[in-house]
């Protein structure tokens, strides 16, 4: 019994040590100990660990955001009605792809969104539409309001903390558009693109909602960072 216990402890130490060494000396994109670089390919488990840290460590998050193509300006405080936010980001519209308008977001939402654009949206566009996305139409991030679509409730939406974004559609470099309201139910390349984007988002954002969720989302995708995982 004593020998078995000693063996188990030895194995545990070896496994832990091996995991540490692998994290310490692996290439940065494969190491959970390395900083998050938005330009690196997504490695599901490793990237998930890094995103989790970005959601609790503002300095780490802002260093990750600086590796993206987003033009971000830190905002110390902003308010709307009774909602007061601290240490958020103002994301400019003029990037590639562009947004139809700039917006306020928490740093973790901005980092998730940057990963989503580079590693989900553009890859799906090239695969399904044979073109790059030139513009993303978003419907807003910061809105001091309750959750909508589930009956009367006083519970504030993730939008009330700029921790959510609604996306209505995408314009491609060749001028074509894929809009959630018009193309989600189709069976052509635009519908395939939207479904691929939705499925890819589920690997990055904790909550992903589409027109399949309810009528309130008939014309957009909703992505947020609330504390549970749900996609539909």
Tokens 């488990």 sit at which residue?
45
138 within a domain of the structure (yes/no) = yes
Q: What is the mean pLDDT of the chain?
A: 88
Output the DSSP codes for 28-78: GGG-TTSPP-TTSPP-HHHHHHHHHHHTT-HHHHHHHHTTSS--EEEEEEE
4 within a domain of the structure (yes/no) = no
48 within a domain of the structure (yes/no) = no
Q: How far apart are CA 76 and CA 84, in angstroms?
A: 10
pLDDT in tens, 125-164: 999 999 999 999 999 999 998 887 655 566 888 999 999 9
Structural domains of the chain, count = 1
Mean pLDDT throughout 169-183?
97
pLDDT at 15 over 50: no
> Above pLDDT 70, what percent of the chain?
85
Count of positions (residues) in the chain: 232
88 within a domain of the structure (yes/no) = yes
75 within a domain of the structure (yes/no) = yes
Domain around 211? 58-231
94 within a domain of the structure (yes/no) = yes
Total Cβ atoms within 10 A of residue 44: 9
């Amino acid at each position: 019994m004593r020998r078995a216990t000693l063996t188990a402890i030895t194995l545990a130490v070896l496994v832990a040590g091996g995991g540490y060494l692998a994290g310490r000396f692996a290439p940065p994109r494969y190491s959970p100990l390395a900083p998050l670089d938005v330009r690196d390919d997504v490695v599901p488990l490793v990237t998930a660990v890094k995103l989790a840290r970005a959601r609790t460590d503002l300095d780490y998050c802002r260093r990750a955001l600086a590796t993206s193509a987003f033009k971000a300006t830190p905002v110390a405080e902003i308010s709307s009605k009774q909602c007061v936010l601290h240490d958020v980001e103002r994301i400019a519209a003029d990037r590639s792809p562009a947004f139809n308008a700039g917006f306020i977001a928490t740093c973790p939402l901005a980092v998730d969104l940057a990963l989503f654009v580079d590693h989900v949206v553009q890859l799906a566009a090239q695969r399904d539409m044979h073109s790059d996305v030139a513009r993303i139409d978003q419907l807003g991030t910061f809105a001091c309001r309750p959750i909508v679509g589930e009956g009367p409730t006083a519970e504030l939406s993730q939008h009330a903390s700029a921790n959510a974004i609604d996306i209505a559609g995408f314009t491609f470099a060749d001028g074509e558009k894929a809009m959630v309201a018009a193309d989600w139910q189709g069976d052509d390349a635009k519908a395939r693109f939207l479904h691929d984007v939705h499925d890819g988002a589920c690997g990055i954002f904790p909550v992903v909602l589409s027109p399949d969720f309810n009528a309130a989302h008939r014309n957009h995708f909703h992505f947020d960072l609330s504390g549970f995982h749900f996609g539909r």
